[in-house]
Structure 1
Amino acid sequence: MLNPWRLRLLSRLDTLGTIRAVAQDANLSASSVSQQLAVLETETRTQLLERTGRRVRLTPAGLVLARRARAILDHMDTVEAELRGLREEPAGLVRLGAFQSAIHSLAVPAVARYPQLDVELLELEPHESIPALRGGDVDVIVTTTDFGQLPLGPDLEIVPLATDPIVLVSSPDRHVPRGPAVLSAYAGEPWALDIAQSYMADLTLRLCRESGFEPRVVSRFSNYLMTLRHVEAGLAVALLPGLAVDPRYRVVTRELAVPLTRTIAAVVRRGSPLRAAVNLVLTALREQPLWTDVSS
């Protein structure tokens, strides 16, 4: 009989690529992970791993089992939730990952509508949430469909939620051009960026370079509130999603001369039946009144 824990380790190896990464993710030693995968080979009577130098990779049979394992584990989660569900109420833990600016404006209000649900809310940016969903670490993510580095493929089901404009943010005391922002006019300004390889950092760099200049980056923050505080103090300008601009901060926002929006969506894995609790979370996200529906 296949052991679900070992299947999960194999699935994580397919997602993360190395035994060491799986060990860190599972809070185990690398030798323990290797031993458990060796036991799984014995259980299946199939070679699942092969060595290439000092690295280990999945054999064709290992790839098949790793990718089937996700559906197997999803089905087991569904069955367990059904067994726990008393009086036919949605049951079981729902793990919801959302990017920073969607946490307070979308995810928290949606979850608060159903206090009877057991929801674990995780802050995950697009470059983190998409692999986490594919690897089975979360059940639902709120992400942007415009993050080109990790495209959303046919293995994922997309539920459009809203559009969110990208705006230029500056201090009201800073002398910057009025009207819609032409980025080339800000070539000499200091810039605050998100952390490297994040969606907004990559987008800001691309837009500035397309406008003919390399931004002079004076700060990088993983928290939009820190970015807003830095901008409010007059120390930088920044490009931010409209959702991220907290009205408590004394800043000015300007739409871009060439308007740009990002599409916000809830995403789940395709091919496995969704538990009632997961469906309820999706419904709450779609019905969140702060958002403009873009599904039509």
Structure 2
Amino acid sequence: MLNPWRLRLLSQLDTLGTVRAVAEAASQSASSVSQQLSVLEAETRTQLLERTGRRVRLTPAGQLLARRARAILDHMDTVEAELRSLGAEPAGLVRLGAFQSAIHSLAVPAVTQLARTHPQLEIELLELEPHESIPALRVGDADLIITTPDFVEVALGPDVDVVPLAVDPVVLVVPQEQAGQGPADLAAYAEQPWAFDVPGSYMAGLATRLCRQAGFEPRVVCRFSNYLMTLQHVEAGHSVTLLPALAVDRRYRVATRELTPAVTRTITAALRRGARPRAAVSLVLETVRRLPVPPGLLRS
């Protein structure tokens, strides 16, 4: 009989690529993960792994079982939730992942609304940037994510169902006293100090690329992983920055200008393709879809 825990480890190995990465995600030792995968091979009487030195990769049979495992695990979650909510409203745990600027504008309003209308529903809210949320969805650490496929090296792929939510323009953010009219030409800000996201983030990569396309290397004076800290820095007159419109909190005294040519990102909800989504997951998705579009965004 197939063990769900071992199936999840195999699925994670297919997504994460190494036993060490699976061990970190599962809070287990690498030797324990290897042992569990060996037991799974014995249970299936099939070679699932090829070992070359210290490296391990999935055989064709291993790849097949890993991808089927996702559907099996999703189906088990669905059955458990249906049993718990038999004859009642959708219930159970839904793990909702969202990137930073979508947390306060989309995820929290959805959670707040559902807490009033479906108090038996438990929602675990996870802050996950797009390069983190897509793998988390694939391995089952998130049931539903709010993400963007634009400017992100991790592709959504055919194993994920995508629901467009909104179109979000990328804007130049400057101190209020530097407010201008019309779209901004980045070349005019070549001598300004810049605030960027942390290295490796998709916004840091996008901002660097846009500045270079405008013909200059930005002078980065600070890097923050938190957009509110970035807005504080700009508000104080210490820098300018590039942010998605969704990330610009209106409480800060800053001005925004769209770019020329315009740059946008698509905000989407995504869930795993395969088994029919649990009623609770479908309810959270529908609630997110029906939220009013935040200011500055366009409905997809």
TM-score normalized by structure 1? 0.95
Q: Indicate the residue corresponding to 1:200 in structure 2.
A: 203
Q: Which secondary structure state, in structure 1, belongs to the residue aligned with residue 39 of structure 2? A: helix
Give 1:1-296 correspondences, 5 Å limit.
Answer: 1-115=1-115, 116=119, 117-174=121-178, 179-291=182-294, 294-295=299-300
Measure, in 1, the Cα distance between the counterparts of 2:299 and 2:230. Answer: 28
Q: Helix, strand or coil for the counterpart of 1:113?
A: helix
Q: What is the identity, as a one-letter code, of the residue corresponding to 2:250?
A: P
1:22–1:33: 8 Å Cα contact kept in structure 2? yes
- Deviating 4+ runs (over 6 angstroms): none
CA RMSD in angstroms comes to: 1.5
* Partners of 1:193 and 1:201 within 8 A in 2: yes
User: Which letter does structure 1 place at the counterpart of 2:3?
Assistant: N
- CA distance in 2 between counterparts of 1:54 and 1:148 reads 30
Q: Secondary structure at the match of 1:274?
A: coil
Structure 2 unaligned residues grouped into runs of 5+: none
Q: Which amino acid in 1 is paired with 2:153?
A: Q
Asked whether the equivalents of residues 126 and 198 of structure 1 are also in contact (C-alpha less than 8 Å), the reply is no
**Counterpart contact for 1:177–1:185, Cα < 8 Å:** no
Give me the whole-angstrom Cα distance separating, in 2, the residues matched to 1:134 and 1:140: 10
Report % sequence identity. Answer: 71
Q: Distance in 2 between matches of 1:293 and 1:241?
A: 13
Following superposition, the deviation at residue 19 of structure 1 comes to 1.0
1:152 offset after TM fit, Å? 2.1
Give 1:145 shift.
Answer: 2.8
Q: CA deviation at 1:52?
A: 1.4
AA of the residue aligned to 1:67: R
Query: Per-residue displacement from partner, 1:1-37 (whole Å, max 9, x unpaired)?
Result: 0000010011111111111111111111111111111
Aligned residues: 294
**Any gaps of 5 or more consecutive residues in structure 1?**
none
> Could you tell me whether the CA contact under 8 Å between 2:168 and 2:298 is conserved in 1?
no
Cα distance in 1, alignment partners of residues 139 and 205 from structure 2:
24
